Amino acid sequence: MRPDWILRQVPSTFRNVIDGKLTTTAETRYGVNPATGEPNPPVPLSTQQDLDEAVAAAKKAQKAWAKTTFDERRTKLHAYLDTFETYRNDFVKLLVTEQGKAYNFAQDEFDRTVRMIRDTPKLQLVEEVVEDDGNRSATLRYVPVGVTCGLIPWNYPFLLAWGKIAPAVYAGNAIIVKPSPDTPYGGLKLVELAMQFFPPGVIQVLSGGHDLGPMCTAHPGIDKISFTGSSATGKLVMESCSKTLKRLTLELGGNDAAIICEDIDFDKVIPQLTDDLIPQLFQVATLCFLNSGQICMAIKRVYVHESIYERFLDALVAYSKTFKVGPGIEQDTFMGPVQNAAQYKKVQTYFDDITKEKQKVALGGGVWDKSKGGANGFFFNPTLIDNPPEDSRLVQDEPFGPIVPLLQWANDDEVVARANDTNMGLGASVWSTDIARAERMVRQLEAGNVWVNNHFELKAHVPYGGHKWSGIGSEWGLAGLKQWCNSQTVWLPSKKAAA
């Protein structure tokens, strides 16, 4: 029988999952609907005791789980997926309510999450004989780390939760999921559903305040932390994990550059005006403002060759004007609100710089017209700044909001150097009809993920990670799966010698 548990309860209840049980806490907290400013339902406020209980349950469960086969783990992941897909509409609405993203992009996140759960178990961790001299053999194998913890951000709370859960449990680990305090609801329900398919303690979830993350990174019983978030917080996570020498993966902020060459095909790079909501998802205009700019790999800087700069700017402005801003639940919305009050205040400082630094506004820049709806929500207009100084905060930092600079360049070496002149190194792209030239340029970019005529293309079986301050280690793909393991080299007498 299909359980009736997610949003059909009035009011819905949101609880921790510890050792296969739904648990509550003495105190609760709540997130805020970013489109309205209204509080969402109460969620647990977990304590050190809750974390201790979860770690103890994970340690117990992981020993048995590690003895299961990859086929057994794959079967459970696919069984979860079959049921998860039947709740599509419920989860999409929940995502819009807690995260704020536009309805169609919430659908897209759900689809990406499905692919993550489906494709991760296709990966193969095989033992490799790396030495056999006739007397001794050395075999490299990968064994589970043990008790792991995923610290999930608020911008893609479903995809990035399962981007950690799927490889963790497929590799034989137990995992404790800690959703962002700003978007706890989906994470709690994702793991509540998992109770039907996984043994108690294998997948658990704790909702809490901003003190719960540091509790997790400091806990001596947790063997690995996987964190996605800002570079500043990533440094604190790394410092805390160092005290117990935890295994650690960091996927951090980005300041992605898109380099537009003079020979681009305008019709492909900037879609023609149409009635479709998303005519071409991976085009420059869309990728500047997708999810209100709240993506680590969103385009944050657009470098346009000087010979086409004015034409490109005009086309980008014209197309970006078609993006409807409003509550995500309205299905023709392109850009919803910024997710939370703290981020709204941060992004506002970049809008304040427009006046302070006398920046030239090509599009937007003004106060959101609250008469259009969402009077108490965290809305901005999509904003393009025309050729600001290279040393401005907007160019040097990551606003993580819908405000993007366009800058001019003259030669290939110069623009590559400018694109690389940042502490960040997550993604970058080059757009050109001369593929050989574009490939030469992207291979010189100091970023973990580079594209030609594309940006933000990700697959569950393809690793991604950041250079410099954008991260340590890899996520997803076989390289990412191995980061949920310890390598072990097994030395044995060779079969020939033993005979």
170 Cβ contact partners less than 8 Å away, ≥ 6 residues apart: 70, 73, 74, 77, 120, 121, 123, 481
User: Does residue 390 carry a catalytic annotation?
Assistant: no
Name which of 248, 203, 70, 249 is nearest 142 in CA terms.
70
* Annotated catalytic residue within 98, 296, 398, 475: 296
Residue entry with tokens 């006398």: 358
Backbone angle region of 221, left / alpha / beta, with phi > 0 → left and psi within -120 to 50 → alpha: alpha
Helix or strand (DSSP H, E) at 408:
strand 403-409
Helix or strand (DSSP H, E) at 286:
helix 284-289
* Annotated catalytic residue within 251, 288, 398, 475: 251
Chain Cα centroid distance, residue 1: 33
Name which of 150, 145, 200, 191 is nearest 171 in CA terms.
145
Q: What DSSP assignment string belongs to 108-167? A: HHHHHHHHHHHHGGG-----EEEEE-SSEEEEEEEEE--EEEEE--SSSTTHHHHHHHHH
Amino acid at 158: F
Rounded distance, CA 20 to CA 142, Å? 27
User: Does residue 296 carry a catalytic annotation?
Assistant: yes
Rounded distance, CA 208 to CA 434, Å? 51
Q: Parallel, antiparallel, or unpaired for β 136-144 and 147-151?
A: unpaired
Name which of 179, 165, 174, 175 is nearest 207 in CA terms.
179
Name which of 285, 287, 303 is nearest 295 in CA terms.
287
Rounded distance, CA 81 to CA 78, Å? 5
Residues 173, 62 contacting (CB under 8 angstroms): yes
Residues assigned a catalytic role: 251, 296
